[in-house]
Amino acid sequence: MVKDIIKFFKLSKYSKEFNISWIACILFLGLWLSMQYFITKGVKDDCSDLFVPTAILVMSVIQLLTPMRSLITSKLFCSSHYHKVLSTTVYYLIATLYGLFIEILQFIVFSVGISSKQGTYMLILVAVLFFETEIFITFSLKFFVPSILGFLGLYAFEMLSDDFMKAIASIDLSLISSMFVGMIIIIAGGIVSHITARILYRYSYIKSIDQTQKNDII
């Protein structure tokens, strides 16, 4: 499996989006770190101010996976015998590993520069949003418009819902316990995405992706 991950990364470098996607991913991470410094000094009791930087952090995974998406949706690669295992397993394994990295990164940052309550909130919230993002990525490859509408609608509801924010903010766990709970949620998202991808594998990629990505692989 490690060899498959390395092979996937090597092949994704041939996507025209590879460089810009990695730059965008790093910029998202940098923006999140900057927002942590300024926002957490005057955060509300329900921690609702932290939703936006949390969403920005989760969005970095979409940038990370963009060149890989270009690869698995290209006509040339679809004919390869590696396609099924890379597009239904390795693709989501990489997303899950990145999510675990995000949880560890947050734990380190929060351990030195943020209150325990706020850190607990963000570790859990990031995991929940990451779970949703993994599901969105799976469905968007086959049913883009319904997926993007549902994804944005869910994000908007969660951002504006006082009950959702209060439910997350009321979680009473230590920082390290929150990290492990978040990791479990992210792993669960990876498993659900993998199973869903295998179920949807027989469906064709949406025409808009097929048309726009056919020239993305050199």
**Phi, psi at residue 172, to the nearest 5°?**
-110, 85
**pLDDT value at residue 142:** 81
According to the per-residue pLDDT averaged within each range, which of 86-95, 164-173, 202-211 is highest?
86-95
**pLDDT value at residue 181:** 92
Burial status of residue 89 (CB atoms within 10 A of its CB: 0-12, 13-18, 19 or more): middle
pLDDT of residue 112 exceeding 60:
yes
pLDDT in tens, 64-79: 878 777 777 777 777 7
Alpha carbons 21 and 59: distance in angstroms, whole number: 11
Which pair of tokens denotes residue 164?
């959702």
Buried b (16+ CB within 10 A) or exposed e, 29-46: beebeebbeeebeebeeb
pLDDT of residue 187 exceeding 90:
yes
Alpha carbons 36 and 113: distance in angstroms, whole number: 9
Alpha carbons 189 and 127: distance in angstroms, whole number: 9
* Nearest partner of 119 among 39, 18, 190, 15, judged by Cα: 39
Query: Is 92:138 a contact under the CB 8 Å cutoff?
Result: yes
Sign, CA torsion 4/131/50/46: negative
pLDDT in tens, 6-47: 776 777 777 777 788 888 888 888 888 777 666 555 555 455
Among left, alpha and beta (phi > 0; psi -120 to 50; other), residue 199 is alpha
**Placement of tokens 């479990």 in the chain:** 184
Alpha carbons 130 and 124: distance in angstroms, whole number: 10
CA atoms within 13 A on the CB side of 2: 0
